[in-house]
Structure 1
Amino acid sequence: MPDDLPSDLPRLEALRTWHALWLKRIDRKVAALRVREAERKRGEQARPPTPDFIVELSIGDGRPPVELHVGGCYAAGKRRRPVDTEEARRLLAAGLRPCTHCEPHHQLGALEQSPP
């Protein structure tokens, strides 16, 4: 095996110091990534379950409902609140517009309710 390292002690010590510094940097990065991964896993475990249905809310006075969505619908706006199945049925019966993307009225069995 060829010896490609320097033959004098000062340069070998400089190389050893340089590599030790790099090893410390790498170890810090590995530790930080392990902490981040552990936090991500804890966040996934602590995340509340996706509600069955959500109501998108208006920005007006009292924030009235605007549209009904299946929980997790990508088309739901940022102003929303979860609702249970009974409230979702009641809101549809009262004339609340169902989302045309996730079609919550199909999941509720309200097939006769069609979007306006």
Structure 2
Amino acid sequence: MNDPAPLTRVDLLHFLARPRNGSSCIEQGLDGRAAAYVHVGGCHMAGKRSKGITQDQARRALNEGVDDCPQCRPDAELGVLEG
């Protein structure tokens, strides 16, 4: 009776979009100790050495000098400006 509207092509491809739900991750360097990059959650460049972090942790890492991923630009996503 109340069938939902058919999905559009954009709806079907929505899963490919970068998540904007506030998730972030930090990628560890090869030594497993030093942080290498901060990523927006879902970034295709985040490697196997990445783990999820909160937005506050991501901002803190960026402010402490951890590099931002040049592909997903978490600094812009999180509103962190270069000083």
Q: TM-score, normalised by structure 1?
A: 0.50
Q: CA deviation at 1:59?
A: 2.4
**Is 1:59 aligned to residue 59 of structure 2?**
no
Q: C-alpha distance in 2, partners of 1:67/1:74?
A: 13
Larger strand proportion, structure 1 or 2?
A: 2
**Is 1:113 aligned to residue 82 of structure 2?**
yes
Which structure has the larger Rg over C-alpha atoms? 1
**Gap regions ≥5 residues in structure 1:** 1-49
Structure with larger RCO (C-alpha < 8 A, sep 6+) = 2
The question of whether the paired residues in 2 share the 8 Å contact of 1:55 and 1:67 is answered with yes
Q: C-alpha distance in 1, partners of 2:78/2:22?
A: 14
Residue number among 53, 61, 64 corresponding to 1:94 in the alignment: 64
Partner of 1:77: 47
The question of whether the paired residues in 2 share the 8 Å contact of 1:69 and 1:99 is answered with yes
SS in 1 for 2:27: strand
Aligned residues: 63
Q: C-alpha distance in 1, partners of 2:82/2:74?
A: 10
Q: C-alpha distance in 1, partners of 2:50/2:33?
A: 10
Percent identity for Structure 1 against Structure 2: 35
Larger helix proportion, structure 1 or 2?
A: 1
Which string of whole-angstrom CA distances, capped at 9 and with x for unpartnered residues, describes residues 65-85 of structure 1?
100000010011111111101
Runs of 4+ in 1 over 3 A off after TM superposition: none
Question: Alignment RMSD, CA only?
Answer: 1.9
Q: C-alpha distance in 1, partners of 2:62/2:36?
A: 11
